[in-house]
Amino acid sequence: MSRTKRAASQGQLTLSFPFTWGGARRNAGRKAGPRPNVPHRSRPIQRPSQPVHVTLRSRLAPLRSQFLFPSVRLALTRAARRDPDHFRIVHYSVQRDHIHLVVEAADKRALSSGIRSVAIRIARYVNDLLHRRGTLWADRFHSRALTSPRAVRNALVYVLANFRKHTRHDLKPGIDPYSSAASFDGGREWQPQLGTPPPFAEPPVRCEDSANRSPSADSATFGARTWLLRSGWRMHSPLSMRETPAG
C-alpha cells in the first residue's frame, strides 16, 4: 500500500496554523510614549543663510548637574572646533534630559555630520565618566530652520532662557550658567564686554578644558556668520534676563 493510501486509511489529521503575522492588527506596533518620536523622514534642505535650532533628548538625567555638565561642555567644545567653516555651534543650553543648540551649517550634510559629532562625543564622555555602556540618546535629533528675525529671537529666548521653563517660578533674574549666555551680547541688562561679572541666576559651574587646563571663556561656541543670527534678529528688542520662553 502506498504511503498516501495508508495515511488516508489511518485518518491522517490536518494541522491548521493561525496566520497572525503581517497586516494591520489592533494594538500592533511600537507603543506611543509621553513624547512622540521624531519621524524618520528625509531632512529638509539646509540653507547656509538660515540658522537652525536643534534639540537632542537624552535617556539619562540629569545632564544639568555640577558632576555631568563639565563633561558635556567639553564635548561641545571639541565638537565645535572640528570644522567651524562648515558647522558652528553659536549658542547652547543644557537641561535636565535634553540639550538645545543654535547652529549654522553650510548644507544638509554638514548639519547632520556636525550634530552626529556632537552626539557621539557627548555620549562617549558621559558614558566614560559614569562607567556605563549603551545608548545615551532617546531619539533622533529634532531640527527647525530659523527663517526670519522674529524666529531667531524666539529661538534665542527659548534656548538661553529654557531653564526658567523647567525650574521654579521664583528664580531670580539672571543668566543660565549651564548655557552659552555668558558670552551672549544681545542682552538688555548686561553686556559681557563691559568687564563686569555675569549675573548668574544659579550658582555658576566652573569648567576647565582638559586640553589647556584654563578656566573656560566659552570656547564651545563660535561667533555667528549668518545675517539673521548676527544682526537680523536685533531688529526686535534685546533679550531680558527675566524672559521666559512661550509655550
Condensed to tens digits (0 to 9), the pLDDT of residues 226-236 reads: 999 999 999 99
* Domain 42-233 top-level CATH class: alpha beta
Q: What is the reported pLDDT for 216? A: 44
d(CA 79, CA 119): 9
CB atoms inside a 10 Å sphere around CB 210: 10
Q: What is the reported pLDDT for 222? A: 84
d(CA 200, CA 31): 41
Classify 121 in phi/psi space as left (phi over 0), alpha (psi -120 to 50) or beta. Answer: alpha
pTM summary value: 0.79
Condensed to tens digits (0 to 9), the pLDDT of residues 64-73 reads: 999 999 999 9
Q: What is the reported pLDDT for 240? A: 92
Q: What is the mean pLDDT of residues 189-215?
A: 71
- Considering only 27-36, 151-160, 176-185, 228-237, which range has the smallest mean pLDDT? 27-36
What mean pLDDT value characterizes the chain?
83
d(CA 106, CA 186): 24
% of the chain at pLDDT higher than 90: 56
| pLDDT at residue 129 greater than cutoff 50 | yes
Strand order in the sheet with 87-94: 87-94, 98-105, 52-57, 142-145
Condensed to tens digits (0 to 9), the pLDDT of residues 41-85 reads: 566 688 999 999 999 999 998 999 999 999 999 999 999 999 999
Q: What is the reported pLDDT for 221? A: 82
